[in-house]
A and B are shown apart, each in its own frame.
Chain A
Amino acid sequence: MTHSGSSLPDLPNSTSTSGPMSEIRSPPPDRVLEIVLENVLHFLTCRRDRNAASLVCRSWYRAEALTRSDLFIGNCYAVSPHRATSRFRRVKSLTVKGKPRFADFDLLPLNWGANFSPWGSALADSYPWLEKLHLKRMSLTDDDLDLIARSFPSFKELVLVCCEGFGIAGIASIAANCRLLRVLDLVESVVEVADEDEEVMDWISCFPEGETHLESLMFECVDCPVNFEALEGLVARSPFLKKLRLNRFVSIPQLYRLMHRAPQLTHIGTGSFCASDDVAVGDQEPDYASAFAACKSLVCLSGFRDILPDYLPAIYPACANLTSLNLSYADVNADQLKPVILQCHKLQTLWVLDSICDEGLQAVAATCKDLRELRVFPVNTREEVEGPVSEVGLEVISQGCRKLQSILFFCQRMTNAAVIAMSKNCPDLVVFRLCIIGRYRPDPETQEPMDDGFGAIVMNCKKLTRLAVSGLLTDQAFRYIGMYGKLVRTLSVAFAGDSDQGLKYVLEGCPNLQKLEIRDSPFGDAALRSGLHHFYNMRFLWMSSCKLTRQACQEIARTLPHLALEVIDSQEDKADDHIEILYMYRSLDRPRNDAPKCVTILQ
């Protein structure tokens, strides 16, 4: 049987250690099966399937390792870069996640870690053919970006979500050096920009001349002025560009020009959406609606920074086709929202501010029958007695949007009745995150804890995998979660529970639990110990301002050697000996050596 490698260029020949196609000859019999396997495994794309396949036997493990081209590292400290690159030899696309989510809320010291550099060097050595890099909550420097830009000649996609540590220079290097770049998405990242008086590097001009391969360019979080001429030129010579998200320094008239240059756009993030200094008083302003009418493929709109609601009618021509609308940085009220939303019949994803009030939610419920995801963010984050949205809005949404799968809802008050209603009206819910801003708030109608509401959610929403709870909650709420939340993978708890029993219910009852983040809740050592049987199955556990002692953590570290327990604590002697933060995760390698002084790693 001749080697069939010619139709599959990535298949390494068993007799050569370098290069895929160096020799063509009949492979030994035991190798034949592996080649067949490799061919078949190419069709497996889902990483969970691949993980399962790799456990069948050594031969499957090897074949799978050689054919996995998409590598997902959920916790950058779970494995060392070297371990990852040694096992998986032909990776073209890599995703790495770093800091735990609570870092977004300033609960972690800034220099905690998640540095990309060790990964960068390992990748440069092992995967010169790397095409895609997707990083979330990692810390990377301009030098790291420069390394990426220069090490991978086939590099196509860079997506940075909630990252920090780099500046314009790094971005410029990517623009200048990655000739095949298709995607440059900088999302909610903290980008160092020059101060107002210093000169800003013109990174847009760093893209090479001539036609580009750009399909997606998102730079909303790069908070400095851009060279508009260069940007317009770039858009004009990017025929494949479909997604463009601008920053607030791009004005509406400028957006207008860009849209007319690129009517093929499907996703647009507007810059600032208000009166522009570019247009002198008395000048005729362009017909902005015409730009939105020209982009006939538009399905997703976001941005709307510094919004002047008078300009909203410009987007009317696009509304009928919109599937995704993000107004979460736009302070608009119900009357300003209604004319827009009443035209958005196809909307599936909506992000808004609570400034739209329950009345605005009513309008959403009346029109957006296909809504799958809703996020309502608060304008005012202080704890108040009343707020603009409440149980009224939630209930109305549950009645109108029966296909809802994911909801994130901030409010000042909520009733069990409304939550129970949603649990019955929206059986497809996969993600339910309710944040009652006032801590320890009971149901304002009944004065009862919110246990029954969340209980109904876990009971009735059989597909639920992610849950965030709030309000006044007793151990009973956790008993419900343990009893019914069998598919729950991610659970967020804050200011809730009465005793260790609460956490025990969850750790003993939820077999699929992978990510558990808890803050300011009275769970202690006994509760922690009840999870020993499960911790290796979890990606991480975060507990801050709870009742854990260092001794208990030490015990667990000794019992489970492949767990890293990071104790983050600010001082030695306190009134009690409870630690401030425990961040615990499984790890195949020795403890990391890049932790700051305030972090002690028990292992």
Chain B
Amino acid sequence: MLAKEHGLNLKETELCLGLPGGGGGGEAAAETLRTTGKRGFSETVDLKLNLQGNDNNKEDLDENLKNVPKEKTLLKDPAKPPAKAQVVGWPPVRSYRKNMMAQKVSTEENKSGSATTEKTASSAAAATAASGGSFVKVSMDGAPYLRKVDLTMYKSYQDLSDALAKMFSSFTMGNYGSQGMIDFMNESKLMDLLNSSEYVPTYEDKDGDWMLVGDVPWEMFVGSCKRLRIMKGSEAIGLAPRAMEKCKSRS
């Protein structure tokens, strides 16, 4: 597995996802599913999309294709323009507005059901899906800013980590292994990561527990993450035993 190829020294293979000054990491073997964090953002989007080969999108893609002259596209693979992808900052709707709309949807869902509110709740749910509103607060220890991210905008932990790296530019994260999940079974690797001064993302799940991001498959994470907090690895150590417990009890 790719995780093994990286060997035990996490630091060396650590992917630098921060902006300049975040250090190297270029040794990572070319992994098909993810970027090395060394590309410009628009190119990053391309790579992910190339792999989506989703049949549902084909019809729309074909329709768009015949209208897009080849030299126009800035994309890496002109055969697959991202008809359904979300590009950062596009369309130009302020993130403030997006947050407000998302809040509206979640409060509607919380209301008890009368006939009217049931209808609004289901259309609200549709709106959530459509407008992509699974917004969770993200805070970073030591940084004064609070942000919200829409988890449904990302397809994998790598996407999320790229986005967080862009937001909190001094933030770098450890390696996620081949499935994009932290290998909790390997205690020593985990301890290396947590003993470093690097930041690790943690999250509060549905049960109210604070967990290390990366312990469950991505979809499960999106469903259960209520809030994100980026903290120093050394501080996150307390979470590790619990995370491993939960992990073990699942498998």
Contacts and interface: CB of A to CB of B under 8 A. Distances in A.
Interface of A: 102, 104-107, 109-111, 141, 162, 164-165, 188-190, 192, 195, 221, 223, 248, 272, 274-275, 305-306, 308, 310, 328-329, 331, 377-383, 385, 410, 435, 437-442, 447, 468, 472, 492, 494-495, 498, 519-520, 522, 545, 568-575, 578, 580, 596-598, 600
- Give 10 nearest A-B pairs by CB, closest first: A598-B19, A105-B89, A597-B21, A109-B169, A380-B130, A570-B19, A104-B94, A545-B42, A107-B89, A598-B169
Nearest to B149: A106
A569 B167 CA distance: 13
Interface in B143-166: 143-147, 165-166
B96 A110 contact: no
Nearest to A448: B67
Given A165-B145, A494-B90, A575-B39, A596 B170 contact: yes
Most buried by B among A110, A331, A519: A110
A105 B95 contact: yes
Contacts of A600: 20
B91 A520 contact: no
B67 A441 contact: yes
B179 interface: no
A535 to B, nearest CB: 24
B19 A383 contact: no
Interface string B56-92: 0000100110011001111000000101111111111
7 contacts: A190-B146, A275-B117, A331-B127, A381-B132, A569-B20, A571-B19, A596-B170
Interface in B83-133: 83-98, 100-101, 103-104, 107-108, 111, 114, 116-117, 120, 123, 127, 130-132
Contacts of B89: 102, 105-107, 519
A329 B104 contact: yes
B6 interface: no
A574 B81 contact: no
B233 interface: no
Given A569-B19, A570-B18, A580-B41, 18 more contacts: A104-B94, A106-B166, A106-B167, A111-B169, A188-B96, A192-B146, A195-B137, A305-B104, A379-B127, A440-B64, A447-B67, A494-B92, A570-B41, A574-B38, A597-B169, A598-B18, A598-B20, A598-B21
B198 to A, nearest CB: 15
A66 to B, nearest CB: 38
Contact of A379 (B19, B96, B101, B114): B101
Given A107-B88, A110-B145, A442 B67 contact: yes
Nearest to B146: A192
Given A306-B108, A329-B104, A377 B92 contact: no
B155 to A, nearest CB: 14
Contacts of A189: 96
B116 A308 contact: yes
A435 B147 CA distance: 25
B221 interface: no
Contacts of A472: 67-68, 72
A338 B238 CA distance: 57
A378 B103 CA distance: 16
A578 B74 CA distance: 13
B194 to A, nearest CB: 24
Contacts of A377: 93, 97
B26 interface: yes
A382 B85 CA distance: 8
A188 B39 CA distance: 32
B31 to A, nearest CB: 16
Contacts of B85: 383
Contacts of A328: 97
Contacts of B90: 105, 439, 494-495
Contacts of B60: 385
A109 B108 CA distance: 32
B107 to A, nearest CB: 5
B143 A111 contact: yes
Interface string B208-236: 00000000000000000001000000000
A494 B108 CA distance: 34
Nearest to A580: B40
B127 A574 contact: no
A385 B91 contact: no
B27 interface: no
A310 B116 contact: yes
A468 B92 CA distance: 11
B43 interface: yes
Contacts of B145: 110-111, 164-165, 190
A382 B132 CA distance: 8
A298 B165 CA distance: 46
Contact of A545 (B26, B40, B123, B169): B40
Contacts of B114: 275
B91 A435 contact: yes
A570 B166 contact: yes
B92 A440 contact: no
Contacts of B86: 381-382
A377 B166 CA distance: 26
Contact of B19 (A188, A195, A597): A597
A193 to B, nearest CB: 8
B149 to A, nearest CB: 9
B37 interface: yes
A383 B37 contact: no
A310 B117 CA distance: 11
A306 B84 contact: no
A379 B130 contact: yes
Contacts of B19: 109, 568-571, 596-598
Nearest to B126: A380
Contacts of A190: 96, 145-147
Most buried by A among B87, B88, B144: B144
Contacts of B42: 520, 545
Contacts of B38: 571, 573-574
Contacts of B43: 574-575
B91 A437 contact: yes
A525 B87 CA distance: 25
Contact of B93 (A165, A378, A574): A378
B82 to A, nearest CB: 8
B99 to A, nearest CB: 9
A391 B86 CA distance: 24
A573 B74 contact: no
A329 B93 CA distance: 13
A435 B93 CA distance: 10
B146 A498 contact: no
B91 A381 contact: yes
Nearest to A597: B21
Contacts of B67: 440-442, 447, 472
A385 B63 contact: yes
Contact of B170 (A107, A223, A573, A597): A597
